[in-house]
Structure 1
Amino acid sequence: MQVEGQGSGSTARRSLRYSWCMRNGTFILSLTLALSLSCGDDEPTRPEDGTIKVWESCAWEGQVVPELCESGLACTSHGVCAPTCSEAACPTFDGFEVECNPFETTQICELRCNDAQECPDTKGTELHCHQLYCIGDV
């Protein structure tokens, strides 16, 4: 809406006045835009299939995703990419036993807890002891 301003002398001119709802709408739109731009890149992105390395987590948003593991690895039911052992020997960790056990259609290397119920540092996801085996947190 265009309304003549109430000024005197050199300050008298025509000016646009905005209604109350137009001012609030502009403010809300600006605030929404600013928030969306500031938060846009904070959300983590899913890793590409076949990129997760041995003993790292193959879980995404609480779900086990077998496609994430590199070839030659199997995503266990507890969300860790474990090496398969049908063709090769399992990796070793000082003070820990590693067993080659059946899993679905293949065999995988499974770490056993030591006598103190501890798991080795695999340089991957943190493992914890559960029923004699070292597992992930899925």
Structure 2
Amino acid sequence: MTIIRKARKEDVADVFELMKGLAVFEKYINSFNITPEIVLEKGLDTDEPLFYCLVAEVDGKIAGMLVYYYLMYTAQNKPAIYMKELYVDEAYRGQELGTKLMAALKEEAKAQGCTQIKWTVADWNEAGKKFYKGICAEENTEWLNYEINL
């Protein structure tokens, strides 16, 4: 049985392991500085979280996660959601957990009066791009991503 729900304090170890798995998959594990304590303090055990997390629970095991935060100020004078991470444990792929997590995020966005959900995907991540097209997401080719590393 699959349940999609908001992450709780007791999920910290599982959420951390999924975050670490994503860091390995996306090849930034060498700069990964997240700890279970950070996950707890910054998101799962605070009244003012810096991020929010949905989890996919399959038969009592956390098998996937979706991390997001709000962009409170937009040109539309309504919030938007920025999805930072979507990851499903390899052993659970093909069970539509990503689709279910995205559907739950869409419902959360609607409930909060958001105008859109935004995210990025690595250019080399063909499976990710195929997945997002499969859920009717539109690629925005009008904007390029820039960053300054400090």
Q: Same fold (TM over 0.5)?
A: no
**Greater percentage in helix:** 2
Calculate the TM-score normalised by the size of structure 1.
Answer: 0.23
Whose relative contact order is higher, 1 or 2, with alpha carbons under 8 Å and at least 6 apart? 2
Calculate the TM-score normalised by the size of structure 2.
Answer: 0.22
